[in-house]
Chain A
Amino acid sequence: MLAAESGLRLDLDIVDYLILVLYFGTVLGVGFAARRAIKTSADFFLSGRSLPAWVTGLAFVSANLGALEILGMAANGAQYGLLTLHYYWIGAVPAMVFLGIVMMPFYYGSKVRSVPEFLKRRFNKPTHIFNAISFAVAQVLIAGVNLFALALILDALLGWELWISILVGAAIVLTYITIGGLSSAIYNEVLQFFVILAGLIPLTVIGLVKVGGVDGLFEKVRQSPLGDAALHTWSNTGSSADNPLGANWIGILFGLGFVLSFGYWTTNFAEVQRALSAKNMNAARRTPIIAAFPKLLIPAVTVIPGLIAAVTITGLGAKEGDLTYNNSIPLLMEQLLPNGVLGIAVTGLLASFMAGMAANVSGFNTVFTYDIWQAYIRKGRSDEYYLRIGRYATIGGVVIGIGTAFIASGYGNIMEYIQQLFSLFNAPLFATFIVGMFWKRMSPWAGFWSLLLGFLASLALYIAYLTDAITFNSALEQSFWGAGVAFVVAVIVAIAVTFFTPSKPEDELRGLVYGLGGTSQGTVIVSGEKVWWRNPVVLGTIAVVLALALYIPVW
């Protein structure tokens, strides 16, 4: 067994660097080419709503396939075993399908340009401001986390100084988003989707050969400290103490599978924006559903390498240094990949970091420009003016991201930090959305108070956890409960406030609320294209059935 005494330093040769340089040359080339197609702010922020469903679908999954996600999920795989699959299956697929089938008719049909804009039309300005600002702040924070993670990885792998990596990484993202807008971000997301897979597949294949295939891997996991409990997804979740994840099935099903997952996938504008850029309603609805299929299979190249790392790298799981769980994939790269595929893997990792950050930045610049600047600061200027503001916002967002990169340094498992942000902002948002979309009486002020109090409830629980006033088995269990509490509080507040404040007239809610007609008739939800493979409902059902079927062998 190769111990990692050699550290994480990769021995890249000239060909590996050539592969890396070719990639970034292509990325910048796409940015400059996309620039020619940009004439209006809608081109810049929404790609002129012109993209086919397979492109927006792959961009949708790719926007979530940042380096943090990949390294974090491999870390979770090494630490919690196959329970990590919940993040991919129950924690993603139902929500993605729900977004495509039920919610997209309202988003796309109402022609809103962002998620906060939907809240403005459904509720009122305070709700809009609160959401627009909290989203913008969260995106910049997460972009900072991405940047910091990239710098740490480059320092470990290539020996680059932190500040050089931060500046170079930020400069590349900044260049192609500022120049090419969302089209450029989306094209690169599609491209990086294939490159990251081309990097992770050889890693997984060689890793499996090393441990004697899937059977050999499972046998070794059984004999490791993780034990048999790490090879089951549900059967040990009767009590939170019996499985490595430290969560019971109620937490997984309700906290992760319902609140966290639906909050993230259905209301996170960095995701929804990909679907809004699709060329028509059907393509918009298929976007998250097409994304669900790769999402089902990605754990094969993230969670499995995590497990391989757990059984082949002695000492993995250190609190600091080279042997932390987050380094599972880089450690395997160092040990198993020869030059050539190594260059591809490094490129894929850097590309996926860029994609993650680009998703945050392009979400941020849109919300900042349309929802903050245009709505409240400078109304009624020309389209070119807002296009220019969008470019400045991109620069500002990247600069603040660089500054906030260091917030991330205090956390051992980066993923938990990200989950934390989502449960604080997204869980109450989903509650507000779902009640508002299906209950026409819900009043504008109910929207505001449910969002605010849901957020405060989640924050209070988080602070209680940090100060040990309430204890949980793990930070993950805390995030499940935080999300659950935020959701329940937001729903109760939404109902209660509605009884004391006036509702909006039905005329103003047409196209925004279920059952009122307008652009999104109730029938839209079940109808769709006649060809079955273009029908969102048929495709969505297949995705959910596949997710359930995949659980069977790892019950």
Chain B
Amino acid sequence: MADNDQVDEKKLSAAARLFDVRRVIGGLFVVYGVIVTVLGIFDTQDEIDKAQGVRINLWMGIGMLVLGLLFLLWLRLNPPEPPDPSDIDDERPPAD
């Protein structure tokens, strides 16, 4: 890539923020939670009978939604920090 280093650094940290794993898990589970909860609300009697009378879509949907929101909340309360200098690996090969 022809970009100079500073642009690269910026891009890197933007990518790192965007793709904090908590955001990925939170996002996916919120979407799954909404889909499955909506299904659960409209579940037919046949589907409930198949699940032995448990409204499983509703419960799992709400559960996943809550889990997703908790991850997003955690991210909100404790955003990714810039790398701690003491954590940086001294083993990186010199740029050549």
Residues of A that sit less than 8 Å from B by CB:
15, 18-19, 22-23, 26, 30, 33-34, 36-37, 39-42, 48-50, 55, 111, 187, 190-191, 194-195, 198, 201-202, 205-206, 209-210, 279-280, 335-341, 344, 382-383
A194→B33 CA distance, assembly (Å)? 13
Inter-chain contact B21/A187, CB cutoff 8 Å: yes
Contacts of B86 in A (CB 8 A): 280
Inter-chain contact A187/B19, CB cutoff 8 Å: yes
Inter-chain contact B93/A191, CB cutoff 8 Å: no
In the complex, which of the residues A23, A33, A40, A339 contacts B28, with contact meaning CB atoms closer than 8 Å? A23
| Contact mask for chain B residues 6-41; partner A; CB cutoff 8 A; 1 contact, 0 none | 001001100110110100110111011001100110
Contacts of A344 in B (CB 8 A): 32, 36, 60, 64
A111→B53 CA distance, assembly (Å)? 55
Inter-chain contact B91/A340, CB cutoff 8 Å: no
For window 38-96 of B, CB contacts with A under 8 Å fall at 39-40, 43, 47-48, 50-54, 56-57, 59-61, 63-64, 67, 83-84, 86-87, 89, 91-93, 96
Q: A49-B89, A198-B60, A341-B56 are in contact. Are A191 and B51 (CB under 8 A)?
A: no
Inter-chain contact B64/A198, CB cutoff 8 Å: yes
Apart from A37-B16, A191-B24, A206-B52: 7 A-B pairs, beta carbons within 8 A: A22-B32, A187-B19, A187-B24, A198-B60, A210-B52, A280-B86, A340-B57
A192 to chain B, nearest CB (A): 10
Q: Chain A: interface secondary structure?
A: helix
B63 to chain A, nearest CB (A): 8
A40→B93 CA distance, assembly (Å)? 8
Q: A42-B91, A279-B87 are in contact. Are A339 and B32 (CB under 8 A)?
A: no
Closest Cβ neighbor of A18 among chain B residues: B35
A111 to chain B, nearest CB (A): 6
B87 to chain A, nearest CB (A): 5
A198→B39 CA distance, assembly (Å)? 16
Inter-chain contact B8/A209, CB cutoff 8 Å: no
Chain B contributes a number of interface residues (CB within 8 A of A) equal to: 44
In the complex, which of the residues A48, A55, A209, A339 contacts B47, with contact meaning CB atoms closer than 8 Å? A339
In the complex, which of the residues B15, B64, B87, B91 contacts A36, with contact meaning CB atoms closer than 8 Å? B15
Inter-chain contact B60/A202, CB cutoff 8 Å: yes
Inter-chain contact B50/A338, CB cutoff 8 Å: yes
A201→B62 CA distance, assembly (Å)? 14
Contacts of A39 in B (CB 8 A): 8, 12
Inter-chain contact A191/B89, CB cutoff 8 Å: no
Inter-chain contact B19/A34, CB cutoff 8 Å: yes
Contacts of A206 in B (CB 8 A): 51-52, 54, 56
A sample of 8 inter-chain contacts (CB < 8 A) reads A15-B39, A26-B24, A39-B8, A40-B93, A191-B24, A210-B52, A337-B51, A341-B60
B38 to chain A, nearest CB (A): 9
Inter-chain contact A382/B96, CB cutoff 8 Å: yes
Closest Cβ neighbor of A283 among chain B residues: B87
A336→B24 CA distance, assembly (Å)? 29
Q: A190-B21, A198-B60, A383-B93 are in contact. Are A340 and B87 (CB under 8 A)?
A: no
B45 to chain A, nearest CB (A): 11
Inter-chain contact B57/A33, CB cutoff 8 Å: no
Q: A22-B32, A42-B92, A340-B36 are in contact. Are A33 and B60 (CB under 8 A)?
A: no
Contacts of B31 in A (CB 8 A): 22
Inter-chain contact B52/A336, CB cutoff 8 Å: yes
A341→B33 CA distance, assembly (Å)? 10
Q: A15-B39, A48-B89, A194-B67 are in contact. Are A205 and B24 (CB under 8 A)?
A: no
Inter-chain contact B47/A338, CB cutoff 8 Å: yes
Contacts of A22 in B (CB 8 A): 28, 31-32
A85→B96 CA distance, assembly (Å)? 52
Inter-chain contact A190/B56, CB cutoff 8 Å: no
Inter-chain contact B50/A336, CB cutoff 8 Å: yes
